[in-house]
Structure 1
Amino acid sequence: MKTKTLSLAALAVALAIPGQAAAKGGDIQVKLVGTYVAPDGKIKDVKLDLIGLPAGTQTKADDNVVPTVAIEYFVADNISLETIAGVTQHDVVGRGGLAGAGLVSNANIVPATLTVKYHFGKDGGIQPYVGAGPSYFIFIDEKPGATAVALGATRQKMSDSLGFALQAGVDIPVNQNGLAVTVDAKRYFIRSTAHWFAGTTEVLRTKHQLDPWVISAGVAFRF
């Protein structure tokens, strides 16, 4: 009975502590999060094939977990602009006719993204939001995978690409000083073209559906 009484008392105290006010125009929020990136990577079209891909060849990009920083500016009480900073690295492997083949190695992606977000909720409560905006994927220092090298590829390049992102999440206030727990999900819609070269000759060109799910969780600081 004593333990139950203490638990009820602790709950009463927690409920009595007011949460932070909803964001106002001019506020800035910084989020430090861990991000799980799960791209697709499958081939949508073969533009050039001088090596003779086996029938049924398909591809898949691997997943990754990376640290990310998001910076958000409230242009009005319920409307904000958010951009993210981070780099994620992926390999691309074959499926179907080239199952398990290493095709792209260490493709570093900078997913430059700007979303417009609308925030719901009342003062002191949780603050769910939705958002959408453009994204530009910049590929850095990618290389041909082990199988591609064995087949004669000496260089590999992914084209930088413009796409679109949809977003939804929630900020859960922890105290009155702007600290919150945040959970965020984005779905990107983006295509990229992969180029493989043997010396200076392009021998393979394929168009890929990247379309990653990007799931983040961490802490937010608003001031």
Structure 2
Amino acid sequence: MKHMLALGAAAIAVGAFPTQALAEEGEVQVKLLATAVLPDGKIDTVNVDIVGLPAGTQTEANDNVVPTIAIEYFFTDNFSVETIAGITQHDVDGVAGLPGAELVADAKIVPATITAKAHFDLGGVKPYVGAGPTYWLIFDEQPGAATLPLGVTDFNFDNEFGFALQAGVDVPLGEDGFGLTLDAKRYFIDLTAQWFAGNTLAIETEHKIDPWVLSGGISYRF
């Protein structure tokens, strides 16, 4: 349900501009992308630990490649606002203290993001930079297999706000509105993870996620 709401919000953000305004003020660009999500996932802080984690326990999240859609509205040729829609899934494993142990399984993330972008015209290519807020909706996360023998029965990632920086380039292909696009985003976001044994909070940790999100694909501007 959460990811459906996020996709709906993206559509509403674009649909909020009247058709006449679109024709007079700018253009819409839609991008179909293959996106690599490369998170960190290390532990910054241990707030609660009643099970006694090994000293120096550290974690990382796995990388993933997913399809995404970007929708962009141009107020002028040099300024636009863009939102993305997509879902990525990640596990979190131990790398020190609990090497190879699956601690979190199948966490699905909708990184709802809006960026304001400045564009530059260099003839055949159009580079851009951007920045904006992000809100991560996380659902279906499960305790990892290695935590079940410890009596863990439930797991939760909090939804969180963060910030994203962006840079990329659009390459027009002819005069029909089609093009190629390359995009890189760096997210700055921390998540709080909680493992429960029944109704008891057994472990609570704060994780630095800060993923690189690298995309490439095709665009159509109209």
Question: How would you bin the TM-score normalised by the shorter chain?
Answer: 0.7 to 0.9
Partner of 1:145: 144
Q: Deviations over 1:121-172 (max 9, x none)?
A: 15x5211000000001111110000001121111000011100000000001
Q: Deviations over 1:15-42 (max 9, x none)?
A: xxxxxxxxx9420000000000000000
- Give the match's secondary structure for 1:176: coil
Structure 2 alignment gaps of length 5 or more: 1-23
Correspondence 1:199 to 2:198 = yes
Corresponding letter in the other structure for 1:29: Q
Q: Runs ≥4 in structure 1, deviation > 4 angstroms?
A: none
Larger-gyration structure (1/2)? 1
Query: d(CA) in 2 for partners of 1:120 and 1:204?
Result: 48
Correspondence 1:43 to 2:7 = no
Contact kept? 1:41, 1:209, Cα under 8 Å: yes
Q: Give the CA deviation at 1:77.
A: 2.2
Query: d(CA) in 1 for partners of 2:76 and 2:61?
Result: 39
Contact kept? 1:45, 1:208, Cα under 8 Å: yes
Query: d(CA) in 2 for partners of 1:215 and 1:167?
Result: 10
Partner of 1:72: 72
Query: d(CA) in 2 for partners of 1:140 and 1:162?
Result: 15
Query: d(CA) in 2 for partners of 1:167 and 1:140?
Result: 25
Aligned residues: 199
Q: Deviations over 1:51-99 (max 9, x none)?
A: 1010010000000000000000011221000000000000000011111
Corresponding letter in the other structure for 1:184: D
Query: d(CA) in 1 for partners of 2:38 and 2:100?
Result: 18
Query: d(CA) in 1 for partners of 2:25 and 2:74?
Result: 5
Q: Deviations over 1:179-205 (max 9, x none)?
A: 000000000000000000001111000
Correspondence 1:83 to 2:83 = yes
Partner of 2:121: 121
Q: What value does the CA root-mean-square deviation take over the aligned residues?
A: 1.0
Partner of 2:173: 174
Correspondence 1:28 to 2:63 = no
Query: d(CA) in 2 for partners of 1:132 and 1:188?
Result: 10
Corresponding letter in the other structure for 1:222: R
Q: Give the % identical residues.
A: 59
